Structure 1
Amino acid sequence: MEVFRLLPPAEQRRPCALTIGNFDGVHRGHQAVLAALRARADALGVPSCVLTFEPHPREFFAELTGKPDSAPARILTERDKLDALADHGVDRVCIAHFNASLANLAAESFIDEIIVDGLQARHLLIGDDFRFGARRRGDFAMLEAASAQHGFGLARMDTFTDDGSRISSSSVRGALETGDFALAHRLLGRPYFISGHVVRGRQLGRTLGFPTLNIRIPFARPAVHGVFVVQVHGVGEAPWPAVASLGTRPAIERDGKLLLEVHLFDFSGDLYGRLLRVEFLQRLREERHYDGLEALTAQIRRDAQDARDYFARRDAASAG
């Protein structure tokens, strides 16, 4: 899969079947759009292309208005989103930096400069709630007129539902916020995970007797936070049982950066720089502050035992 920042360079532009959206989660609703896009691209003999945005437009406007907490929590890292799009047959992804210039681009200019000239769309597939351009003036009627003028095909997909309930990024966020990973799995069509490279930390976990793998979270508001039972892919041939904390480590430092800290059970070895995938299985508790390292260590010990008990129950159920 080819990845471009905003638009392909002029010499690499060619007709495509295009869809546009944030695709946070690449959930089953998104997957239905991508399947339809793939079918249309194959019929036309052109590559499929996704135009997405970084940051999420709502993040941009939340920062602009001084209300960063009003932005939606992130479900996937950029790496995981790109991997998911590739898994569903996307040939090209264009990541547009959403800034003041793009926010103020007139809807008509968005069509002419991006959809028609920049991406050379032969076919455009959008969701039923798609709006675009400055002040969100662009709508399906405007695209219909542009389709007739410029000669590209146009289709709109209805909302994807499961047992009558709408599948959306918001519904996935809700499931993750409450720790309902079974529901998140059903909405996503796969287990929920975060992947990243292992980086060096402060080594405090090792000092406390619980060494951790550290993975940076590259945004301010993840859809999950707290302490979890997890299993880690990429350590050995089978997923490795572990306990993990995702947050800013209020027990250790103030105003800390977001970090996913993972303690692998019964493991020794050097994994720095390794790309790992952390799959979330069960939420244990929220992050909290502790008065002293002794209290923190005692809680970590309880968390680790709770996670070990989870795996023991799971293994017993599988054996039975």
Structure 2
Amino acid sequence: MIVVDKKGKSKSELIRGLHNIRDRHRGNVVTLGSFDGVHLGHQHVINHLIDKSNEYGVPSVVVIFEPQPLEFLAPERAPARLMRFREKVNALFDAGVDRVFCLHFDQYLSALSAEDFCRKVLIDGLGTKYLVVGDDFRFGHDRKGDFEFLCCQGELFDFGVSDTKTHQHSGERVSSTRIRGCLAKGDVEEAGKLLGRPYSMSGRVVYGNQIGRKLGVPTANVGLRRHRTPLSGVFAVKVKLPNSAECFGVANVGVRPSVDGIAKPILEVHLFDFSGNLYGSRIDVEFCQKIRDEKKFESLDILKENIESDIACAKRIFNLS
């Protein structure tokens, strides 16, 4: 898939799998990792990658895995994603990366030794000229591939290797795990500082069970397409609509215990001063401040009272009342 700019010129490219690599894709400056969140630490790596790309005069490539390795190897222990695959790819392109190369993580890939991975992916596949790695990156079967190993491979196959120093904020390492901890506590402000931008979720508006409409507070139900979310509760939000217009609202993200107790997470957004049909449209929901935890209410009447209270609180946050 090639992403083009507004003038129709090729801008960025997503490559899925080794079988889609062509001769024109060989010869790159490369980095590898999960890049969940594309946070400040990741951006530090990407900036170094782009600098080396400019120095060598070849494209910059980020290699990612789908699903995440732990989601395949031990799904019950896999953490909630900060962003979906589509969001991650777009964030990497926005950061200035020329190409994103996605490897399908399966039994074959998990069994590859570090030596075989290096040869098949970095050498035979991408024709790596220079490799940038994060300070904690490991790969290959049993995670035996590390910085020292890559330096040896670089000497054998004539590519340079460098690692990046840990990026810190407030004296602590910036990491996806740290950001998940902030979001789990509802501290979206601190999470935004570590990400370098407000935390948001995007997705298409899908049909729900119309409970909000029956209560007089219609909601846009956003398909999250994930098994769990890194945050839950009721939030004051800012929503970017398909026409790039923005409006304020209140959102509930969780499992909607007052209605049907379903385990699959959902995101419901009530937009202030909006009328129109958003079904099928993709919207971006930015979490501005947490209002309360998700609760189970004994009746729809009590639920309606609390929703009205949440709306009033969100409007005060945005100075709308």
**TM-score (normalizing by structure 1):** 0.92
**1:28 maps to which residue?**
40
Task: Look up the SS of the partner of 2:225 in the other structure.
Answer: coil
Task: Look up the SS of the partner of 2:154 in the other structure.
Answer: helix
The Cα of 1:60 is off from its aligned counterpart by 2.1
Q: Give runs of aligned pairs for residues 59-98 of structure 1, distance below 5 A.
A: 59-63=71-75, 68=76, 70-98=77-105
Deviation track 1:225-279 (CA, whole Å, cap 9, x = no partner) reads: 1111101112666521100011121211133432111000121111122221111
**1:5 maps to which residue?**
16
The Cα of 1:163 is off from its aligned counterpart by 3.5
1:142 partner amino acid: F
Gaps of 5+ in 2: 1-11
Deviation track 1:28-63 (CA, whole Å, cap 9, x = no partner) reads: 111011011001111111110000112222222222
Deviation track 1:98-143 (CA, whole Å, cap 9, x = no partner) reads: 2222111111110011111112111110011111111111111211
Distance 1:213 1:228 in 2: 14
Asked whether the 8 Å contact 2:26–2:125 carries over to 1, the reply is: no
- Which of 220, 226, 251 aligns to 1:213? It is 220
The Cα of 1:12 is off from its aligned counterpart by 4.3
Moved more, 106-115 or 249-258: 249-258
**2:6 maps to which residue?**
none
The Cα of 1:9 is off from its aligned counterpart by 2.7
Distance 1:276 1:248 in 2: 20
Task: Look up the SS of the partner of 1:277 in the other structure.
Answer: strand
**1:172 maps to which residue?**
179
**1:200 maps to which residue?**
207
Q: CA RMSD in A?
A: 1.7
Moved more, 53-62 or 217-226: 53-62
Asked whether the 8 Å contact 2:202–2:224 carries over to 1, the reply is: no
Asked whether the 8 Å contact 2:64–2:100 carries over to 1, the reply is: yes
What's the % identity of the aligned pairs?
44
- Which of 185, 193, 197 aligns to 1:190? It is 197
- Which of 277, 286, 308 aligns to 2:284? It is 277
1:38 partner amino acid: I
The Cα of 1:151 is off from its aligned counterpart by 0.7
- Which of 115, 119, 126 aligns to 1:119? It is 126
State yes or no: 1:243 paired with 2:250.
Answer: yes
**2:272 maps to which residue?**
265
**TM-score (normalizing by structure 2):** 0.91
- Which of 278, 286, 292 aligns to 2:299? It is 292
Q: Give runs of aligned pairs for residues 128-167 of structure 1, distance below 5 A.
A: 128-167=135-174
- Which of 259, 278, 283 aligns to 1:252? It is 259
Task: Look up the SS of the partner of 1:93 in the other structure.
Answer: strand
Asked whether the 8 Å contact 2:189–2:289 carries over to 1, the reply is: no
Deviation track 1:154-194 (CA, whole Å, cap 9, x = no partner) reads: 11111111242111111111111112122112111111111
Task: Look up the SS of the partner of 1:198 in the other structure.
Answer: strand
Q: Given the superposition, is the C-alpha separation of residues 111 and 237 from structure 1 closer, same or farther in structure 2, using an over 3 Å criterion?
A: closer
**1:38 maps to which residue?**
50
Asked whether the 8 Å contact 2:249–2:269 carries over to 1, the reply is: yes
**2:67 maps to which residue?**
55
State yes or no: 1:304 paired with 2:311.
Answer: yes
Distance 1:107 1:100 in 2: 15
Gaps of 5+ in 1: none
The Cα of 1:11 is off from its aligned counterpart by 4.2
Q: Given the superposition, is the C-alpha separation of residues 245 and 151 from structure 1 closer, same or farther in structure 2, using an over 3 Å criterion?
A: same
The Cα of 1:292 is off from its aligned counterpart by 2.5
Task: Look up the SS of the partner of 2:236 in the other structure.
Answer: strand
State yes or no: 1:108 paired with 2:119.
Answer: no
